[in-house]
Amino acid sequence: MSNCKSVFFAAGILLSASVLQAQVKDYPIQPVTFNHVHVHDQFWAPRININAEVTIPYVLQKSRETGRVDNFLKAAGKMPPEKLTEYPFDDSDIFKVIEGASYALQVKPNPALDKSIDSLITIIGEAQEPDGYLYTFRTMKPAKLHPWISPKRWEKDPDLSHELYNAGHLYEAAVAHYLSTGKKNLLNIATKNADLIVKDFLYGKAPYFPGHQVIETGLSRLYRVTGKKEYLDLAKYFLDIRGNGQVRGSQYSQSHKPVVQQNEAVGHAVRAAYMYTGMADVAALTGDASYIKAIDNIWSDVVTKKMYLTGGIGATGAGEAFGAAYELPNMSAYAETCASIANVYWNIRMFLLHGDAKYIDVMERVLYNGVLSGIAQDGKKFFYPNPLASMGQHARSAWFGCACCISNVTRFMPSVPGYVYAQDQNNVYVNLFMTNEADVTLPAGKIKILQETAYPWEGGVKIVVNPEKQIPFALRVRIPGWARQEAVPGDLYRFADQKVTKIEISVNGKPVAYTLEKGYAVFNRTWKKGDVVSFTLPMEIEKVLANEKIKEDQGKFALQRGPIVFCLEGPDHADKVVQNIVVPQQASLKESYDPQLLNGVLLLNGTGSATTRQLNSDELSKKEQTVKAIPYYSWNNRGSGEMVVWIPYQESAARPKPAPTIASKSKVSGSINNPRMLNALNDQFEPSSSEDKSALYLHWWPKKDTEEWIQYDFDQEQTVSESKVYWYDDSPFGGCRIPASWELLYKQGDQWVPVQATAPYENAKDKYNTVRFTPVKTTAIRMKIRLPKDHATGVHEWIVK
């Protein structure tokens, strides 16, 4: 076991000899840890630095401001437990930021941060109960327990309690902190907690599974660093108890059937990907092939039926879950940032099991698109969902009550260099391309690898191999699927142009023949200091087409160049509108690099047309316009606005810009102070049903049984005689229903006067509800809405004629 054993997998030179001897099985391929790979390129290095210098301190500050640190002080008896934070998994945010900070400390010493983390660890230790139990929401003994928590340990619905989920992130943080600093203060807290759970579950046979998975990977890491087999046995116990009939399970938490009998991805996407990651860890450490068979089948299901072009997973906000096969809506895509991070964790492990570049192809897609889109360029604004289309309803937030994605980013970004290289005996895998220096120890000897590239903007890559002495080994260089005209493994997406370009690779300036094995160009030779491998990947602009079973993407293409998926965004186009743009399928596109835009991005430029509806006419106005595409990850850094990844090449697939109406030109106000939701009333988006979540809608949840109002102030005095409203109603599971009643009033002088309806008010879901009334001349109209006794109400669209 070499000293390149990955910190990410919690092994390495800090393990004792006895632990090394006890631990026989593991992944056949091992990553070269991030602390042995020093990245100094122009793409990843600035992002990793921003995470260390901006995001981690910011999240620590917000954790203090929002009471997450106070939770531990309350549990330690140092503050009165007068108020809980919002979620019982808030403890995990502290653990995740400690994990990220620990990684950052190993990359770059920071005494102030080190001291800050130690002070947090002291508070965590004081909050731990004598037998090792650590769960602040119960230990602080509030006057009223959070509704997701049972008075007894472990017994509440595991989908909600998150007791074991918090523990998993504690273990991840503890191992990272120990391996980065050599200190055992957090590791001792973690092992004390794990020993309790071993006693209660593994030996006490408590019949509960973790509702939100992650403890399985945490236990695997704890096992690697301590050699205590009970931790690995407990991880396997938590997997094997799922779906075995002892506790009623559900697809939502992947507990509907035994894990080894699962063949497709279902339920909450983050929980699922964490579970598949844990299954890979346990399979590697135990040799259980039934786990591998299951996750192989599930991986194929995801990649061929349930993954966005950006690598995002989780199509629906209902349960933050996978949808049915080929259910991949764009505007309502959930594609949670946490799910993308979990997808990276899962795919790197699939590679370590199988040595196939297809897993790195998927991982790279997620890395450059699905993950990076989740964080703004200033390091202090974030996406929870990552949609593939927007009308302006989406915006990154400075914080979320549920801050899981924010804290997850802090722990993920420092680990990126650890995905560049891997090794298997005397095989070195080059998986990702970024300028770096790496130290690798093989059985044959030590080598230093220097990589130079302007990737992902340019395809040229130069790899300098410097062994301490001449040694034989195999260098395996990944040839990305996209460079071989394979958009993704399988047929979910394909490039319109199927012309394959032969990639020439040179060693010391001379082209050499190579074999392609599982997506890798293999060079098996005796290497000497200064040997250079160089090649250029074909950075062609590709038009991507979706499988015909993805209905929403038909008549459209997406743009990709190298690993980067592009999109159209409002600020770059006329009237800041892109939903109405059509680009011919055969249109020529040119690239240009703009160092001033969005911290420096490559742009794809072409010509298309924009369509606009005319008043009182079915004919469309059409005009040619310049089209500019930016990298998807960089959208929404210039404010909220329209965006599309899938660009129509058929006019029928576009959404023409609506003609102006009385409503669309009105100033909107209401009893809710949320400009984006108010703008939904007159955005002229036609809902498909009352529960359509694809565009923005207004709602008053969680209010019930109150009187609310919305109002249009016209741009000039108008004569109106009809109004139509489309209610938002997400029954039976959501909190909104059609209103108990509604009424229109118009402004007469300084008074609001009810209109004289000529027929009863309609009030039904899944349709426009119309009221006609005696014409009135006015400058404003108001709708009074009475919410139902037990529910809120929402509005998709409000039309005035």
Q: Taking the CA of residue 698 as centre, how many other CA atoms within 13 Å lie in the half-sphere pointing to its CB? A: 28
Q: What is the structure's pLDDT at 418?
A: 96
Tell me how far CA of residue 765 lies from CA of 151, 420, 585, 708, 729, in angstroms: 41, 52, 39, 19, 7
Q: What is the structure's pLDDT at 196?
A: 98
Instruction: Identify the band that residue 24 occupies on the pLDDT scale cut at 50, 70 and 90.
Output: low
Interval 670-697: pLDDT, tens: 999 888 899 899 988 889 899 888 778 9
* End-to-end CA gap in the chain: 76
Q: What is the structure's pLDDT at 218?
A: 98
| H or E stretch at 465 | strand 460-467
Q: What is the DSSP letter of 367?
A: I
Cis preceding linkage at 732, omega within 30: yes
Tell me how far CA of residue 697 lies from CA of 67, 187, 474, 607, 710, in angstroms: 31, 47, 57, 33, 13
Q: Spell 172-182 as b/e; 16+ CB within 10 A means b.
A: bbbbbbbbbbe
Cα–Cα dist 370/341, whole Å? 8
Mean pLDDT of 249-266: 96
Q: What is the structure's pLDDT at 631?
A: 98
Cα–Cα dist 700/735, whole Å? 10
Q: What is the structure's pLDDT at 616?
A: 66
Interval 766-798: pLDDT, tens: 999 999 999 999 999 999 999 999 999 999 999
Q: What is the structure's pLDDT at 763?
A: 96
Positive or negative, the Cα torsion across 440, 442, 448, 450?
negative
How do 427-430 and 471-478 pair as beta strands? parallel
Cα–Cα dist 140/244, whole Å? 34
Give which of 311, 424, 409, 356 is closest to 6, Cα–Cα: 424
Would you state the structure tokens that stand for residue 97, as one six-digit string? 């930021």
What is the residue-wise DSSP string for 165-205? HHHHHHHHHHHHHHHHH---HHHHHHHHHHHHHIIIIIIT-
Q: What is the DSSP letter of 481?
A: G
| H or E stretch at 643 | strand 642-644
Q: What is the structure's pLDDT at 8?
A: 39
Q: What is the structure's pLDDT at 617?
A: 63
| H or E stretch at 244 | none
Q: Give the rounded percent of residues in the chain with a pLDDT score beyond 70.
A: 96
Neighbours of 503 (CB within 10 A): 18
- Domains of the chain and any CATH numbers: 7-419 (1.50.10), 423-478+502-536 (2.60.420), 555-653 (no CATH), 667-800 (2.60.120.260)
Mean pLDDT of 256-274: 97
Q: What is the structure's pLDDT at 695?
A: 79
Residue 23, φ and ψ in degrees, nearest 5 = -90, 100
Residue 629, φ and ψ in degrees, nearest 5 = -110, 140
Instruction: Identify the band that residue 19 occupies on the pLDDT scale cut at 50, 70 and 90.
Output: very low
Cα–Cα dist 71/383, whole Å? 25
Q: What is the structure's pLDDT at 125?
A: 98
Mean pLDDT of 363-383: 97
Indicate the range of 398-412, 598-612, 625-639, 651-665 predicted with least confidence: 651-665
Tell me how far CA of residue 140 lies from CA of 72, 143, 145, 488, 543, in angstroms: 8, 9, 10, 49, 56
Long-range Cβ pairs for the range 446-453 (8 Å, 24+):
447/471, 447/473, 447/527, 449/421, 451/420, 453/41
Interval 326-368: pLDDT, tens: 999 999 999 999 999 999 999 999 999 999 999 999 999 999 9
| H or E stretch at 460 | strand 460-467
Tell me how far CA of residue 245 lies from CA of 205, 208, 257, 274, in angstroms: 14, 11, 8, 22
Using CA atoms in the order 428, 432, 433, 436, what is the torsion angle rounded to 10 degrees? -60
Cα–Cα dist 643/657, whole Å? 14
Residues in a beta bridge with 460: 536
Residue 7 or 121, more confident: 121
Q: What is the structure's pLDDT at 425?
A: 95
Look at residue 724 and tell me whether its pLDDT is greater than 70: yes
Non-local CB neighbours of 751 within 8 Å, separated by 6+ positions: none
Q: What is the CA radius of gyration of the chain?
A: 28
Cis preceding linkage at 456, omega within 30: yes
Look at residue 738 and tell me whether its pLDDT is greater than 70: yes
Instruction: Identify the band that residue 318 occupies on the pLDDT scale cut at 50, 70 and 90.
Output: confident
Q: What is the structure's pLDDT at 242?
A: 94
Mean pLDDT of 397-405: 94
Q: Are the beta carbons of 352 and 28 closer than 8 angstroms?
A: yes
Look at residue 237 and tell me whether its pLDDT is greater than 90: yes
Instruction: Identify the band that residue 584 occupies on the pLDDT scale cut at 50, 70 and 90.
Output: very high
Give which of 360, 276, 281, 364 is closest to 322, Cα–Cα: 276
Q: Are the beta carbons of 763 and 717 closer than 8 angstroms?
A: no
Interval 447-506: pLDDT, tens: 999 999 999 999 999 999 999 999 999 999 999 999 999 999 999 999 999 888 889 999
H-only helix segments in 306-371: 337-354, 357-365
Positive or negative, the Cα torsion across 341, 346, 347, 353?
positive
Tell me how far CA of residue 134 lies from CA of 219, 561, 706, in angstroms: 16, 48, 41
Look at residue 79 and tell me whether its pLDDT is greater than 80: yes
What is the residue-wise DSSP string for 726-756? EEE--TTTSSB---SEEEEEEEETTEEEE--
Interval 617-626: pLDDT, tens: 667 788 999 9
CA 655 to chain centre: 27
Cα–Cα dist 701/680, whole Å? 16
Cα–Cα dist 794/667, whole Å? 19
Interval 541-568: pLDDT, tens: 999 999 999 999 999 999 999 999 999 9
3-state SS record for 485-507: CCCCCCCCEEECCCCCCCCCEEE
Cα–Cα dist 335/317, whole Å? 9
Mean pLDDT of 642-656: 93
Q: What is the structure's pLDDT at 562?
A: 98
| H or E stretch at 293 | helix 289-305
H-only helix segments in 51-89: 56-65, 68-75
Look at residue 12 and tell me whether its pLDDT is greater than 80: no
Q: What is the structure's pLDDT at 618?
A: 64
Would you state the structure tokens that stand for residue 514, as one six-digit string? 């190579």
Q: Average pLDDT over the chain, rounded to whole?
A: 93
Look at residue 421 and tell me whether its pLDDT is greater than 50: yes
Interval 95-151: pLDDT, tens: 999 999 999 998 889 999 999 999 999 999 999 999 999 999 999 999 999 999 988
